[in-house]
Amino acid sequence: MTGILIGIILALIMFNISQYRLARGRDAHLFYIRDKLRTIIEENRTEKVLLFTNDPALKKLLVELNRLLEKKNEEFLKHAKKEAGIRKMLANISHDLKTPLTVVIGLIETIVCDKEMTKEARKQTLLKVQTKTSEILQLINKFFDLARLESGDKALPLTYVNINEICKNNLLFYYNDIESAGLEAIIDIPDQPMYALGNEEALDRILQNLISNAVRYGKEGLTVGLTLHDDDSHVYIDVWDRGKGIGESHSDKVFERMYTLEDSRNRLYQGSGLGLTITKRLVEHLHGEITLKSHPFVRTTFTIRLKSLKGED
């Protein structure tokens, strides 16, 4: 009996020693985790907490901590990219405003200083001032529109709209431009009405941006087109041309804020780097998607995908 009692006591002692060692080991691991997290946060590191342990509870804690750190790193990278975009945008604003402003100042100085300028020459110079001033205003409005879209200040109430009519109206708006440029317009809009989730004002802006780009920069291919089609859940609008197009290396970046292309045609295609960015933001506000496929001098197509009313059936 005494032997059994001694055995029980020894077992309890060993158990307590084991628990004590386990607790000390866990405390050491927790202190390490705390210090590591402090270092990662204070030094803004993009790393994980690595710890080899057999403790199931600590393993689960580490998994969740590292998920949190991954989320923090993603937010940091997103913020850094946004900051870089803002810096680039400010630089482009400065450049894009400086050029026309310099022209305006030069023209005004000519009017003021040239005492022998004829009335007709003065009139033509003032018209140039008006044109450049309008360019400046349009650029400022683009920056303002993008800022409102990205901040969520611009309200875009959504409803199901007749896409056929919106496409026809916007093509009609550019009919004279298409005809003046000597372009063939290939239009494929079905008679059967197609309804999609959207906003008429936003869709007008989207289509005007895309059609004007196709007319202006696709004229080398002598053709512009608009195709409307659908499937069981979406309506698709293709705005296309057969011009120089956009190289594959740039096709994934043309929608980025302030991204501009290098060669002269594509540099103009983006201009200040805002037109397609605003277009994409508007499409996203409609819960849609815009994509680009370009095969130079064969077909360059911007496709807008919107949620169809049929998808609600």
CATH of domain 159-312: 3.30.565.10
Q: 26-69: per-residue pLDDT in tens?
A: 677 777 778 777 888 777 777 787 776 777 877 788 888 888 88
Report the distance separating Cα 214 and Cα 309, nearest Å: 28
Q: Which two tokens stand for residue 169?
A: 């109206």
Residue 300, H or E segment: strand 299-307
The reply to whether the predicted model has a pTM over 0.75 is no
Whether residue 226 contacts residue 171, with contact meaning beta carbons closer than 8 Å, is answered with yes
CA dist 47 → 65, 73, 110, 269 (Å): 11, 8, 61, 41
Which pLDDT value is given to residue 116? 86
Question: In Å, what is the CA distance from 310 to each residue of 162, 195, 228, 230, 307?
Answer: 13, 8, 15, 10, 8
Chain centre distance of CA 39 = 34
More confident position, 22 or 4: 4
From residue 30, alpha-carbon distances to 24, 26, 140 in Å are 10, 6, 54
Closest alpha carbon to 238 in 188, 297, 288: 188
Round to whole Å and give the CA distance between 256 and 289: 14
Using the predicted structure, report yes or no on whether residue 273 has a pLDDT greater than 70: no
Q: How far apart are alpha carbons 133 and 122 in whole angstroms? A: 16
pLDDT, tens digit, 9 for 90 and up, residues 155-200: 788 999 999 999 999 999 999 899 998 999 999 999 999 999 999 9
Domain residue ranges of the chain, discontinuous segments joined by +:
46-154, 159-312
Tokens (6 digits) for 264: 């002269």
CATH number for the domain formed by residue range(s) 46-154: 1.10.287.130
Are 163 and 196 a contacting pair, CB within 8 Å? yes
